[in-house]
Structure 1
Amino acid sequence: MSCDETFTEFLTRRGVSRRSFLAFCATTASALALPTEAARQLAANLATARRPSVIWLSFQECTGCTESLTRSGTPTVEALILDHLSLDYHHTLQAASGAAAEQARRDAMAANYGSYVLVVDGSIPTADGGVWSTIAGVTNLEMLRETMEGAALVIAVGTCAAYGGIPAAAAVTAPRLNQSGASSVGDLMDAGTIPSLPLVNVSGCPPVPDVISGTIAYFLAYGSLPELDDQNRPRAYYGKTVHDQCPRLSHYQNGEFALAFDDEGAQKGYCLYLLGCKGPETYNACPTVRWNLNTSFPMHSGHGCLGCSEAAFWDRALAADGSGFTGSCFYPDIRP
């Protein structure tokens, strides 16, 4: 695909109708809480958007974020948003390897200096000079610092990149306290360790695919970021708690709770709050956007929210003695 090809031309070549494209724009505008007339403007701007260069760096992570994003479904416009990008470097998806892969990254940086989008997933180790994770002999920290020099925007995909995630967990059984010095992109910016650039956090372990595609669609259309919350997350997707959007909310309001995962309440779809659900303090769009083409999210399968889109979610989910996940004692103010 030529970098001069517009998004509309690309979709037409892939067999996507204008009706489907407009439906996607309307849905995305609604999800982003844009006014009604903004859907037409989003469609007009996105239709003429050119293909941006994207460099995707993966550090201390499990590849779950990439796995999630590549399962948006096909041939949805959401998936094609990702296809439309010129993904010039990605450890998992690129064909090149070894020296050729690193040369591709440097070539993309030189050719698109000042305009490429940098996507980061995984936390960045900083202890012992960052040697806990290296790529081609270069520490993650040094590679991030180098690649950020010519980036126009940084998108931290997943909770590890946004907050440090599980690699940064301070396990309750000391002394195993984040030995790698795992840090988030934002923390490194705040510390002055790496350059400060426009940053958007798309948290979740992993994030919902449509959230990242919607955020990218907005950037393609307007050349700027949607409204962000105080943690640099798109407010439209992270503005409400999982609890407030949960299909089991009426059971909570009626005082109907499952007391075990296999009891009668669980079978009737009662609220999972007393089984440790972290929905009341977790902000995410998963109950409404959901995974697998809007098919499901954890509560649909009978499991409570783990709070994976929030900072330090792993530590907050553990009992004080490290014995396991806790329940409603984390929320004394709303305990039924």
Structure 2
Amino acid sequence: MKPESIGLGLPAQTLGEHLRTRGMTRRSLLQYAACTASLMGLSPREAAAMAQGLEKATRQSVIWLSFQECTGCTESLTRSFSPSLEDLIFDFISLDYHHTLQAVSGEAAEAARHAAMKTHAGKYIVVVDGSVPLGEGGIYSVIAGMTNAAMLAETVEHAAAVIAVGTCAAYGGLPEARPNPTGAVPIAQLVKGKPVVNIPGCPPMPQAMAGTLTHFLSFGKLPELDALGRPKAFFGETIHDRCYRRPYYNRGQFAKGFDDEGARRGWCLYELGCKGPVTYNACASLKWNGGTSFPIQSGHGCIGCSEPRFWDRGGIYQPLPAPTKKRGRVIGIAAAGGTVLGAGAAVIARQRAGQTGSTEPTQE
């Protein structure tokens, strides 16, 4: 088998034609587009445009790089249910390189990566999970004889866009936490001249990953991003905005311990360190494992894992500023604090990018 054919298999037919050969009707495609568009806050007209774009597109070549990470981001992707992981890989995209999911290894795996880069130059998407260690010349993480930094630079050179999934890739995450012994940095600090989308979370939500890929495949551009490079559709509101325990907060009913009467009644976990008011993510509305639950519903406060440097901001169970009778004002102060921290992180990211000659995340 020639290296150029390893790991590829992109059909010459359009995605619509390919889906029909697998038994997916146009109605099913419209339903999927409507569901995805709804998740991303798009109008019915845009949902129809998404379906039309999907039908005319070809399967998207995706190269997935895994650096300093725990495989939790891939585990999250495998929990994707609309579309499922199987549908996503076999119908919507061509996952041409992925350490955990690919069948080949060694030289054959690297041949697949290079073949995808050559065949789809300027069109493929690079998904990265994990931070990149720069300390000691990058020796803390090496793949196929290459440092993470070298493999990233080589792979993104001819990419159409880069998606940093998980907090480690988006912000540096746990590896970058003080004292950061490996010199870990986020992906956006190293990527030059390419649009970068951050999908943070420890792990990130599968809907956010699948939705971002679908948007790019449908419209040929990235979704609208916030100041931290996150898709606004999934990171436009705080956990607190959508939390079903919000009424208890408004009434001043707070659990004092994880096993007290208030906790058993489902009262607000604010005083137990919940970071929902300053954390932007869609956990409370989309939930996890097919919409089954999310951490707060399971009885544990939000730890703020989709925000920059959440490991270094103090104890997970350390409460935010104590609520008062003017609870709306307290939430406003907390949210403003989160906004300021986020804006500060964005400024730092831009300064770092300037120091390394890279560009900040952009979108069309």
Q: Is TM (by shorter chain) over 0.5?
A: yes
- C-alpha change, 1:25 and 1:78, in structure 2 (3 Å) is farther
Q: What corresponds to 1:224 in structure 2?
A: 221
- SS of 2:285's partner is coil
Moved more, 16-25 or 214-223: 16-25
Distance 1:70 1:63 in 2: 11
Moved more, 150-159 or 35-44: 35-44
- SS of 2:284's partner is coil
Q: What corresponds to 1:173 in structure 2?
A: none
User: Partner amino acid for 1:225?
Assistant: L
1:145 equivalenced with 2:153 (yes/no): yes
1:268 equivalenced with 2:275 (yes/no): no
Q: Is the 8 A contact 2:97 2:113 kept in 1?
A: yes
Larger % of helix: which? 2
- SS of 1:328's partner is coil
Deviations 1:240-261 (A, max 9, x none): 0001111111111111111101
How is 1:192-231 mapped onto 2 (pairs within 5 angstroms)? 195-231=192-228
Deviations 1:125-155 (A, max 9, x none): 0111111110112100111011111111100
Distance 2:58 2:110 in 1: 25
Q: What corresponds to 1:180 in structure 2?
A: 182
Q: Is the 8 A contact 2:83 2:210 kept in 1?
A: no
User: Partner amino acid for 2:330?
Assistant: I
Q: What corresponds to 1:192 in structure 2?
A: none
Q: What corresponds to 1:246 in structure 2?
A: 243
User: Partner amino acid for 1:90?
Assistant: H
How is 1:27-176 mapped onto 2 (pairs within 5 angstroms)? 27-73=35-81, 76-79=82-85, 80-83=87-90, 84-170=92-178
Deviations 1:251-285 (A, max 9, x none): 11111111101111111111111111000000001
Gaps of 5+ in 2: 1-8, 335-364
User: Partner amino acid for 1:105?
Assistant: R
Gaps of 5+ in 1: 171-176, 190-194
Distance 1:17 1:247 in 2: 37
Q: What corresponds to 1:334 in structure 2?
A: 330
Q: Select the residue among 298, 301, 308 that pairs with 1:301.
A: 298
> How far 1:30 sits from its partner (Å)?
1.8
Q: Is the 8 A contact 2:67 2:130 kept in 1?
A: yes
Q: What corresponds to 2:30 in structure 1?
A: 22
Distance 1:231 1:122 in 2: 17
Distance 2:49 2:216 in 1: 13
- C-alpha change, 1:210 and 1:99, in structure 2 (3 Å) is same
Name the Cα RMSD after superposition: 1.9
Distance 1:62 1:26 in 2: 33
Q: Is the 8 A contact 1:59 1:123 kept in 2?
A: yes
Moved more, 242-251 or 288-297: 288-297
1:280 equivalenced with 2:277 (yes/no): yes
Q: Is the 8 A contact 2:97 2:109 kept in 1?
A: yes
Q: Is the 8 A contact 2:127 2:162 kept in 1?
A: yes
Q: Is the 8 A contact 1:5 1:51 kept in 2?
A: no
Distance 1:310 1:82 in 2: 29
Distance 2:289 2:104 in 1: 29
TM-score of the superposition, structure 1-length normalised? 0.90
User: Partner amino acid for 1:210?
Assistant: Q
Deviations 1:104-125 (A, max 9, x none): 1112111111111111000000
Q: Across the two proteins, how many residue pairs are aligned to each other? A: 318
> How far 1:17 sits from its partner (Å)?
4.2
- SS of 2:198's partner is strand
> How far 1:10 sits from its partner (Å)?
3.5
Q: Is the 8 A contact 2:321 2:330 kept in 1?
A: no
Distance 2:74 2:323 in 1: 33
> How far 1:26 sits from its partner (Å)?
1.4
Moved more, 214-223 or 19-28: 19-28
User: Partner amino acid for 1:218?
Assistant: H
> How far 1:325 sits from its partner (Å)?
3.6
Distance 2:129 2:323 in 1: 30
Deviations 1:181-240 (A, max 9, x none): 100011224xxxxx2201111111111111111111110000001110001110111000
Q: Is the 8 A contact 2:96 2:112 kept in 1?
A: yes
